[in-house]
A and B are shown apart, each in its own frame.
Chain A
């Protein structure tokens, strides 16, 4: 937590330097400080900040992501050294209590009194709680601060159901959070529809249907009449205005916010009739020494803005005014795009069609919960719109607002592929179109970041322009623009997989998936680099494409068996022989032992097979047993013994799921809180055989002691008393990484669903030989993005990802059983094509510690590998 950089001296005033006092360290307050620093004001002035909350500014917009595993630290907006670096005095947990404009002093709760030359109020809003009897009972909450969420989370542990009063933007968000906490959730909305402010009737009913399908109960057109409580004063239920009653243990009020203007009222500053500190275009209040910015201000256009982007604009305006620069805040766009309960909702411009003479263009598909409306002016200008269920086009439509779209409006609302022409991308936008609403960045500014400021990547452009660093809804458009600009400048980097394909692995995946290609040759002919089309491919792209086809097999209609037809030629040596090649040309055999659990009978079979074939045995680091030293011609006979005894391939040779390790868990261990062995077995059996860009490993621990080392795995599961915590992106090896928490306290079904989505999203977007850890660090947006996609379904992909996994699970067959049943395949397991019965004389062993090892005399011994091809390894 940031401490004051220099101790504040109460009541004193440094006459050499002017003093700026900021009251309120919320989102807008922090932005104001950054703007001051940028203008060099922090160097010339003493800056004192009074912060009411127990922590410095954090990202309130992302508040709900706390429930998805983000910690308060993750949400922080303040770099740890920000205050110290700029010499700002931050007083945490010390709210301003009085302002004396006469003597120009502010007094805080601690008694600290500071004289100011300039005072800036950024006190935000408070949640409005309707005067319902019983509203102060235990179990009633509001939804505004991290402290509110901590209290809700705590109370929800013993609650079975919850009511959210208010079906607006925040109410839906709170309802989603309650649902996520496992509560039966009701939404009570006084208006006849949900999100009445943002969407129209059609949008409201599409939204309602989708929300109800998620299992939330929606009550519209009714209000809360009374909250009932038990003798201890804890909530038991809510009576509604129509006489009905909901039994509930918890209530969240989310019925709108009101500007926090009490301090201003008390010191006689002008406030609006319905609240809000009156300011002019420079964000000055009725006292020119006092500014007000953010949600507490009543802007010059007569509005109080409840969104962060206008607040940021005000922060900039006030900093300009203080630095002696002229700018102004005259109003802002109320466009929003949100992901509420997994439903995309967006509204922009004149969403309600209040402009005279305007017309609506509406597309509605109630089956899929999609509703899109555009408001078009009499002259064809796009005035605004509402998008529910599919807000993909928001990034492009919003900047077009105010201009005549280049294509007929109905084509802008039709779903892709339904007669709509090739989607009109951000490239069609004019240069002055605002692409990032949060930071007011135009397309022109993004282009010049590339052309003039020499940014060559999206992260660089983000840093340079701030575009995309707010709500994130513009990142897609931003990426397209940056890439277009780079391509136009001829800076295109060759991201191709190898000399044969100009595409990345992820692009090849999309090509195979969408064109349903099942043949490498066809892919090379149609999508290879021209110079490689007639060639033989290479050792990089062949296994990559083989793996993509295997991952997608059921979906594209390919055979999931990796040795089927042409696919056999694509596989790396290990996959081709379904075993791991060892240094002397022999193979190792690893049967699957799900969760590391094995019966004595099976152990005996492994022992007998090893003894009969003279194999070296070792317990692996993956909780199973490896049998080394088999000749290629012995593999089928050994496996027929193993398959008969009920073993399956352990895929130790493939870029595929390896093991799901387990600890003994609740069944035996005195600390265990869940059955980790059962879960590990279930997961291993579910994902076995799944081909992926790199190997996948997992583990399940029965309690936080973490004996299974789950956080060192691609997906690791740790039991809690409420369910399971899911961690992703861990690995061991040379550069170990602990997995990050993706979601917590999941039920069995929720856990499996999230893993399904996570794995399929990884398989879809990772590079070749890129483990989940490296992938998570590379992809745009990192863990947050992955969480948005797989937990909040921000890309609307989850159904498809789940369907792909379901198909994988349904089509799984054991590769070794399949191979043994096929004489053509078995014919390949010979040492010599011209002497099928002859064993390879070069595969010889010498004794070692009661077993055997490769005969060193026959081998040259590895010289240093000259080719540092990443991922030459099999495991």
Chain B
């Protein structure tokens, strides 16, 4: 019999990985260890008010968080999109109908009338998103 248990991500990662925190409606919230993120992919985080955030890390180690809900379909799926960069702007493409959203501003690159919320991110209480600024 094959057993499948969805182990907690934190339990399987090496210890000294900084914690990723995002600034939600009720203050800073630790969502996972940096090591839980795969560069180029995202994860979803449940926020205390029931809303969802999509959290990403790029190849350079920068982290980003935007709303998880795809405004075009209403589904909570942006965390499952593929990321990339175009003209140095990091983006995620919705896995449903492929519209791209800027990870820093939340703007939809393919339809200026749509956008998603952006959350500030910091590492272990340090500066935003591990960025140099």
Residues on A facing B (Cβ under 8 Å): 499-500, 521, 532, 534-539, 542-543, 568-570, 572-574, 576-577, 581, 583-585, 633, 636-637, 639-640, 643-644, 817, 820-821, 823-824, 826-836, 838, 840-843, 858-863, 865-867, 869, 872
> How far is A636 from B52 in the complex, measured between Cα atoms in Å?
23
Quick check: A643 and B73 within 8 Å, CB to CB?
no
Given B31, B73, B82, B110, which contacts A834 in the complex, CB threshold below 8 Å?
A: B31
A569 touches B40 (CB 8 A): yes
Chain A: CB-nearest residue to B30: A834
Cα distance A268–B71 in the bound complex, in angstroms:
90
* Most A-side CB within 10 Å, residue of B74, B93, B95, B97: B74
The answer to the question of B122 belonging to the interface, with a C-beta cut-off of 8 Å to chain A, is no
Q: Assuming the A-B contacts A639-B4, A859-B75, A867-B100, are A833 and B44 also in contact, with contact meaning beta carbons closer than 8 angstroms in the complex?
A: yes
Give the size of the chain B interface in residues (CB under 8 angstroms): 57
B80 touches A576 (CB 8 A): yes
Bound-state Cα–Cα, A578 to B59, Å: 23
Interchain CB contact under 8 A, B85 and A841: no
**What separation, in Å, do the CA atoms of A543 and B40 have in the docked complex?**
12
What mask results when residues 1 to 31 of chain B are scored 1 for a CB within 8 Å of chain A, else 0? Answer: 1111111110110000000000000000111
Please indicate which of the listed interface residues B2, B39, B69 has the most CB atoms of chain A within 10 Å of its own CB.
Answer: B2
**Residues of A close to B88: CB separation below 8 A:** 535
Q: Count contacts between A and B, CB distance < 8 Å.
A: 170
The docked-state distance in angstroms from the alpha carbon of A860 to that of B71 is 7
User: Chain B residues near A842 (CB, 8 Å)?
Assistant: 52, 69, 75-76
| Given A573-B95, A583-B96, A824-B12, 13 other A-B residues pairs in contact with their CB atoms under 8 A | A499-B86, A536-B59, A538-B85, A577-B80, A581-B80, A584-B74, A820-B4, A827-B12, A831-B44, A840-B76, A843-B76, A867-B97, A867-B110
Question: Per a CB cutoff under 8 Å, which of A539, A820, A861 touches B81?
Answer: A539
Contacts of B59 in A (CB 8 A): 521, 535-536
Specify which of A824, A827, A863 is in contact with B8 (CB 8 Å cutoff).
A827
Residue contact B31 to A833, C-beta cutoff 8 Å: yes
The 10 A-B residue pairs with the shortest CB-CB distance, nearest first, are A860-B74, A538-B84, A573-B95, A569-B40, A859-B74, A833-B43, A636-B4, A535-B85, A539-B93, A539-B82
- List B residues 71-127 near A (Cβ within 8 Å): 71-77, 80-86, 88, 90, 93, 95-100, 108, 110-111
List chain B residues, Cβ under 8 A from A583.
Answer: 73, 75, 96
The chain B residue with its CB closest to the CB of A833 is B43
Residues from chain A with a CB closer than 8 A to the CB of B99 are 865-867
Chain A residues closer than 8 Å to B95, beta-carbon distance: 572-574, 581
A829 touching B80, Cβ below 8 Å: no
Contacts A538-B84, A637-B4 given; indicate if A841 touches B50 (C-beta within 8 A). yes
Bound-state CA distance A542–B83 (Å) is 9
CA distance A39 to B26 in the complex (A): 86
Contact, CB under 8 Å: A569 / B100: no
Instruction: Write out the residue numbers on chain A whose beta carbons fall within 8 Å of the beta carbon of B73.
Output: 583, 859-862
Closest Cβ–Cβ distance, residue A573 to chain B (whole Å)? 4
Spell out B's residues near A (CB within 8 Å).
1-9, 11-12, 29-32, 36, 38-41, 43-46, 50, 52, 55, 58-60, 69, 71-77, 80-86, 88, 90, 93, 95-100, 108, 110-111
Q: Known contacts A826-B5, A836-B6: does B74 contact A861 (CB below 8 Å)?
A: yes
B72, B76, B86: which contacts A865 (Cβ < 8 A)?
B72
B34 to chain A, nearest CB (A): 12
Cβ-defined contact, A832 with B98, below 8 A = no
Are B39 and A838 in touch, CB under 8 angstroms? no
Taking the nearest CB of chain A, how far is it from the CB of B14, in angstroms? 12
For the complex, give the distance between the alpha carbons of A643 and B36 in Å. Answer: 27
| B76–A640 touching, CB < 8 Å | no
Q: Which residues of chain A are near B50, meaning CB under 8 Å?
A: 841
Instruction: Please tell me if the beta carbons of A867 and B38 are within 8 angstroms of each other in the complex.
Output: no
- Of residues B60, B77, B88, which shows the largest number of chain A Cβ atoms within 10 Å of its Cβ? B77
Residue among A542, A581, A633, A867 having the largest count of chain B Cβ atoms under 10 Å: A867
How many angstroms between the C-alpha atoms of A701 and B74 in the bound complex? Answer: 43
Give the residue of A534, A826, A867 whose beta carbon is less than 8 angstroms from that of B98: A867
For B39, give the chain A residue with the smallest CB separation.
A569
Taken together as a complex, chains A and B put the C-alpha atoms of A420 and B93 apart, in Å, by: 48
- A838: B residues at CB distance < 8 A: 46
CB pair B110–A537 under 8 Å, yes or no, is no
User: What residues on A are CB-neighbors of B3 within 8 Å?
Assistant: 640
A520 to chain B, nearest CB (A): 9
Contact B40–A823 (Cβ < 8 Å): no
* Cα separation A637 to B108 with both chains bound (whole Å): 36
A589 → chain B closest CB, angstroms: 14
B75 contacts A585, C-beta separation under 8 Å:
yes
Can you name 29 A-B residue pairings with CB atoms under 8 Å?
A535-B59, A535-B84, A536-B58, A538-B86, A539-B84, A542-B40, A543-B82, A568-B41, A569-B40, A572-B95, A573-B81, A573-B95, A574-B95, A581-B77, A581-B95, A585-B76, A640-B4, A823-B5, A823-B7, A826-B6, A831-B46, A833-B36, A835-B46, A836-B8, A842-B76, A862-B96, A865-B99, A866-B99, A867-B97
